[in-house]
Chains A and B, each alone.
Chain A
Amino acid sequence: MSPRFVVPAGSEPFQATRRSFMARAAQSMLGVSCAGMMSGRYLHPLAQAAETTQAQGKAKSVIFLYMSGAMSHLDTFDPKPGAKSQGETQPGKTRIPGVAISDKMPKLSYLMNGISLIRSMTTETGAHEQGNYLMHTSYKPLNSIRHPSLGAWSGHILPKLNPSLPGNVLIGSAAGHPGAGFLPASIAPVPISNAASGLENTQSPSYLGDDQFRRRMSLANQFDSKFKSGYDSQLIQAYDETYREAVRLMASSELKVFDIKEEKQEVRDFYGNNRLGQACLLARRLVEKGVRFVEIEHGGWDHHTNIFSSCPRMATELDDALGALLRDLATKGMLGEVLVVLGTEFGRTPTINENAGRDHHPGAFSALMCGAGIKGGQVYGKSDDEGHSVEEDAVYPEDFNATIAAAMGLPLSEEFYAPNGRPFRICNNGTPIQSLLS
């Protein structure tokens, strides 16, 4: 399988010093190409994307960072300096004049020219489970049906970019994830509970050589031949196909893509030696090899108590991980084809409670998008002075998802019928945010 993404000639491998790497990355991120890059046809990916006339489907892959537990907008991407609600969080300047985010996120501040910040997310539910479901599926939970997540929709509609690998991967806890919903389970995200340990059950026991695995498979097929010649149902065929897929994966050299230990230690350090950082690194490896949709579930944002002592550390981790991911993708020339988004189920209250925490607040929260199909360097929407309600350009979870779906080129107006005969649309009639789309 040839690599899906062309690395610009100007980009250097990781042997480059950290400083030159950062400089190069930042340059390409900001679209301020240096002379060497301008001379060739290797324009910065964001610039390339802007030149393309095709309106849809720019994002071949998506990396979705889901901040589970409800990330506080006030202590990350929408601080309110001077307001009563601000508490101890300090704002830090970004590269967009007049726009500040938490000072615990200097890397993202620096990269802000490539990022679209949404500060007018709003939703109707302040319960984790419902909010999580709505954010993933664009629908409210129903007892009679499970709606597909966006990753499953993309797998249902778009062909695989790499036939040897799953098209939809979920890193982190899979609990409560709607998965494939009413679509076939075969396109449900393949779960990886911990990025550092990779895909489970792909390791044959040490005493088992490659040829022995093949022999076992051949034995199974021989024992099965009589049964299969007698029966020929669609489900058996589906299992045959999935067995072939699993065998292909086991035999594939691509299987190594799940092993982040293949990366140099300095790269692993660059992403941050924590679950989120390593998950972002794995996500980059996966989209590089053509996995279409990677979601990272990262929990711990439910700061009901002591938010000002626990949130800064998490904001820094996020800054390191997402900052590294964006820089790395930009350096590899992949931001023209990969869309990175960050979302959460809702925000947290401007009022600081008696436990020095913030409670659930669906009225206003923040999200961000960067990369393929998205115009960077802007803030969309606005919350009020206290961060309590949306003042301008409200974005509902279905609009957020519709924007991602539009960048991927998914048919938003098409109706799909669930097995129970009811029609559904990919983002529940959400409207893509046109001014974010490039």
Chain B
Amino acid sequence: MGVGLIEPVDDIKKNSPCENPELLEFLTKEMVRLKFNQKEFLRTLLYTQTYRRQSSNFDPSEAEFYHYPGPRMRRMTAEQIWDSVLTIAVYNPYPFTLPSNNEFQRVSDLDLSKVTAKQAEDLGKQFDETVGPGARNKLMNVAAYRRQVLARASELPAPLPADHFIRQFGQCDRETIEGDSLDPTVPQILTMFNGPFTHMMLEEGSVIYDNLVRSVHARDAMNVMFLSILNRPPTNRDRDIAMNEMSRGDKAMGYGNLVWALINTREFMFIQ
């Protein structure tokens, strides 16, 4: 969060110059009030408007103190990019997670004193179709796309093979400490252009594709697209550009072009 209240941060002396004495005083009182519970203290920080502020343009290479007008603009981590792509494309990115108790209950809750054979059989069938091993295998198959397991980054083994999407975008190989990279490479961009996951997103059966096809009005489709990918509604200008593209004819092609264009913006890849 930028410049320390005391700089250097590991040089705490009674007469160390303080960046913001009022803030230091306040935080000291808070820490005492919370009985030095660091979790609660952190919670307070995370709830501040300061912490949740929009990203700023600060370049960390500039040799000056950062007075924290907000987090600095940064690229999504490799794992965040992967999870974002999955969210747009896959219905259940948690194929390894067991169904919830509620889901189990719905197909296993029966009163044995009253149940008929037919009811029991139906319920058994439902169980198999929704949460049973067969259903789970089916889910795993759906989750695999061109030999890649479509599960959240946190559910995948680490380190992943060197040619995996996540490694390509800079995931640490676990040989060194903090070996993550946010740097751009040409293969990353080629993956965004033509990679299997880009194709997957533009195919029938992906979350965004299905949502777009379900949209009755073009206006809804534009909202779906921008909210899903950029987390904001389209501006009027965006809408004009998109409508113009859609008016060229083929609907599926138009959607494909627009979704492709949106995931290839810097706005998608960077966190505001």
Residue ranges of A at the interface with B (Cβ–Cβ < 8 Å): 141-146, 166, 173-177, 184-186, 188, 190-191, 193, 199-205, 207, 212-213, 215-217, 219-220, 222-224, 226-228, 231-236, 238-243, 245-246, 249-250
Q: Determine which of B176, B199, B267 lies in contact with A224 in the assembled complex, contact meaning CB atoms within 8 Å.
A: B267
Q: Given A193-B163, A223-B241, does the pair A233, B257 have CB atoms closer than 8 Å? A: no
Q: Given A202-B194, A215-B257, A233-B72, does the pair A249, B163 have CB atoms closer than 8 Å? A: no
Q: Given A146-B179, A175-B161, does the pair A227, B189 have CB atoms closer than 8 Å? A: no
Q: Given A174-B163, A201-B191, does the pair A186, B265 have CB atoms closer than 8 Å? A: no
Q: How many Å lie between the Cα of A292 and that of B161 in the bound state?
A: 26
Query: Besides A231-B57, A233-B57, A233-B58, 10 other CB < 8 A contacts?
Result: A144-B177, A201-B194, A205-B194, A215-B257, A219-B241, A228-B266, A234-B61, A245-B186, A246-B186, A246-B190
Q: How many Å lie between the Cα of A228 and that of B185 in the bound state?
A: 19
Q: How many Å lie between the Cα of A202 and that of B176 in the bound state?
A: 31
Q: Given A220-B264, A236-B270, does the pair A166, B186 have CB atoms closer than 8 Å? A: yes
> CB-CB < 8 A to A144: which residues of B?
176-177
The reply to whether B175 and A234 form a contact with Cβ atoms under 8 Å apart is no
The residue in chain B whose Cβ has the minimal distance to the Cβ of A188 is B185
Please give the distance in Å from B224's CB to the nearest CB on chain A: 15
Which residues of chain B (152-171) have a CB below 8 Å from chain A?
161-163, 170
> CB-CB < 8 A to B260: which residues of A?
216, 219-220
Q: Determine which of B73, B74, B262, B269 lies in contact with A223 in the assembled complex, contact meaning CB atoms within 8 Å.
A: B262
Q: Given A191-B163, A246-B186, does the pair A141, B265 have CB atoms closer than 8 Å? A: no
Residue ranges of B at the interface with A (Cβ–Cβ < 8 Å): 55, 57-59, 61, 72-75, 161-163, 170, 175-177, 179, 181-191, 193-195, 199, 230, 235, 237-238, 241, 245, 253, 257-258, 260-262, 264-267, 269-270, 272
Q: How many Å lie between the Cα of A250 and that of B162 in the bound state?
A: 23
Most buried by A among B230, B245, B265: B265
User: Which 3 A-B residue pairs are closest in the complex by CB-CB distance?
Assistant: A185-B183, A219-B261, A246-B189
The reply to whether A235 and B182 form a contact with Cβ atoms under 8 Å apart is yes
The reply to whether A246 and B193 form a contact with Cβ atoms under 8 Å apart is yes
> CB-CB < 8 A to B266: which residues of A?
224, 227-228, 231, 236, 239-240
Q: Given A216-B260, A227-B266, A236-B73, does the pair A191, B162 have CB atoms closer than 8 Å? A: yes
Sampled A-B contacts (30; CB under 8 Å): A142-B176, A143-B176, A145-B176, A174-B163, A185-B183, A186-B183, A186-B185, A186-B186, A193-B163, A200-B190, A201-B190, A216-B257, A220-B261, A222-B261, A223-B230, A226-B237, A227-B265, A228-B266, A231-B270, A232-B57, A234-B61, A235-B74, A235-B182, A239-B184, A239-B266, A242-B188, A243-B184, A245-B186, A245-B189, A250-B193
> CB-CB < 8 A to A232: which residues of B?
57
Please give the distance in Å from B264's CB to the nearest CB on chain A: 4
Q: How many Å lie between the Cα of A374 and that of B261 in the bound state?
A: 49
Q: Determine which of A176, A193, A223 lies in contact with B267 in the assembled complex, contact meaning CB atoms within 8 Å.
A: A223
Q: How many Å lie between the Cα of A185 and that of B181 in the bound state?
A: 7
> CB-CB < 8 A to A250: which residues of B?
190, 193
Please give the distance in Å from A422's CB to the nearest CB on chain B: 13
Q: How many Å lie between the Cα of A145 and that of B181 in the bound state?
A: 12
Please give the distance in Å from B186's CB to the nearest CB on chain A: 5
Number of A-B pairs, beta carbon distance below 8 Å: 145
Q: Given A146-B175, A175-B161, A185-B170, does the pair A231, B187 have CB atoms closer than 8 Å? A: no
> CB-CB < 8 A to A215: which residues of B?
245, 257
The residue in chain B whose Cβ has the minimal distance to the Cβ of A224 is B265
The reply to whether A191 and B176 form a contact with Cβ atoms under 8 Å apart is no
> CB-CB < 8 A to B72: which residues of A?
233
Q: How many Å lie between the Cα of A35 and that of B187 in the bound state?
A: 48
> CB-CB < 8 A to A177: which residues of B?
162
Q: Determine which of A228, A234, A240, A249 lies in contact with B186 in the assembled complex, contact meaning CB atoms within 8 Å.
A: A249
The reply to whether B257 and A184 form a contact with Cβ atoms under 8 Å apart is no
Q: How many Å lie between the Cα of A216 and that of B176 in the bound state?
A: 38
The residue in chain B whose Cβ has the minimal distance to the Cβ of A170 is B162
The reply to whether A199 and B163 form a contact with Cβ atoms under 8 Å apart is no
> CB-CB < 8 A to A236: which residues of B?
73, 266, 270
Q: How many Å lie between the Cα of A226 and that of B272 in the bound state?
A: 13
Please give the distance in Å from A120's CB to the nearest CB on chain B: 30
The reply to whether B184 and A242 form a contact with Cβ atoms under 8 Å apart is yes
Q: How many Å lie between the Cα of A239 and that of B241 in the bound state?
A: 23
The reply to whether B190 and A238 form a contact with Cβ atoms under 8 Å apart is no
Q: Determine which of B75, B187, B230 lies in contact with A235 in the assembled complex, contact meaning CB atoms within 8 Å.
A: B75
Q: How many Å lie between the Cα of A235 and that of B61 in the bound state?
A: 11
The reply to whether A216 and B261 form a contact with Cβ atoms under 8 Å apart is yes
> CB-CB < 8 A to A185: which residues of B?
170, 181, 183-185
Please give the distance in Å from A152's CB to the nearest CB on chain B: 12
The residue in chain A whose Cβ has the minimal distance to the Cβ of B267 is A227
The reply to whether B189 and A219 form a contact with Cβ atoms under 8 Å apart is no
Q: Determine which of B73, B181, B193 lies in contact with A201 in the assembled complex, contact meaning CB atoms within 8 Å.
A: B193
Q: How many Å lie between the Cα of A91 and that of B264 in the bound state?
A: 58
The reply to whether A200 and B187 form a contact with Cβ atoms under 8 Å apart is yes
> CB-CB < 8 A to B185: which residues of A?
185-186, 188, 190, 242
Q: How many Å lie between the Cα of A243 and that of B269 in the bound state?
A: 13
The residue in chain A whose Cβ has the minimal distance to the Cβ of B263 is A220
The residue in chain B whose Cβ has the minimal distance to the Cβ of A177 is B162
Q: How many Å lie between the Cα of A143 and that of B172 in the bound state?
A: 12
The reply to whether B187 and A201 form a contact with Cβ atoms under 8 Å apart is yes
Q: How many Å lie between the Cα of A186 and that of B183 in the bound state?
A: 7
> CB-CB < 8 A to B191: which residues of A?
201
The residue in chain B whose Cβ has the minimal distance to the Cβ of A142 is B176
